[in-house]
Amino acid sequence: MENIFIETERLILRKMEDTDFKILASMLKNPSVMYAWEYVFEDIDILAWIKKNREYYWKYGLGFFLAVDKTLNEVVGQIALMPDNIEGIDYYEIGYMLREEFFYQGYAREAVKAMIEYAFANLDIESVIFEIRPENISSIKVAEFFNAKVTGEFVKNVQGKKMKHLIYTLKKEDFVLS
């Protein structure tokens, strides 16, 4: 299938489509999922999110992908690998968010591992980053599981609010491909 980006043991990571609006809304409108962003999306934001990611697929072959559990045939979350620029420095960032009912089931680790492996094997890069709010302990645990280390911080303007983010960096030599 052309929309599939990567498959893991349990997951298919696929490109999002306009028809995914409802499932994306279940994540992006849920305060428990979006707590680190400190806002929830409106319908117009969700449409823009889909459009932005479809543009990323076309331009970079990367972006946020929907993570679909193969057994359940259900979207469990989103996982991203995409170019990023922080204060004039170019990076490749890995990001993730799960639907609330799929928290703490290993989906983030499984999908992140696949993205790390893809990045290092296919993009000829030496590191990836994770942008994480200091209070987002679950995301910090995922990044640290893969041996990512804090290498900096920055303030990101999110919906007019200044939010501190930590930059966790995972160097290729610190990650063993399996």
Residue 26: count of CB within 10 angstroms of its CB: 14
What amino acid is encoded at 107 in this protein? Y
Over residues 123-130, mean pLDDT: 95
Over residues 15-33, mean pLDDT: 95
| β-bridge partners, 155 | 164
> Range of 114's domain?
4-174
pLDDT tens track for 136-146: 999 999 999 99
Burial 81-98 (b: 16+ CB within 10 A, else e): bbebebeeeebbbbbbbb
Domain count of the fold of the chain: 1
88: left (phi over 0), alpha (psi -120 to 50) or beta: left
What is the CATH classification number for the domain harbouring 134?
3.40.630.30
Specify the pTM: 0.93
Distance between CA 150 and CA 12 in Å, rounded? 29
Instruction: Kindly write down the DSSP assignment for every residue of 91-129, as one continuous string.
Output: EEEEEEEE-GGGTTSSHHHHHHHHHHHHHHHHS--SEEE
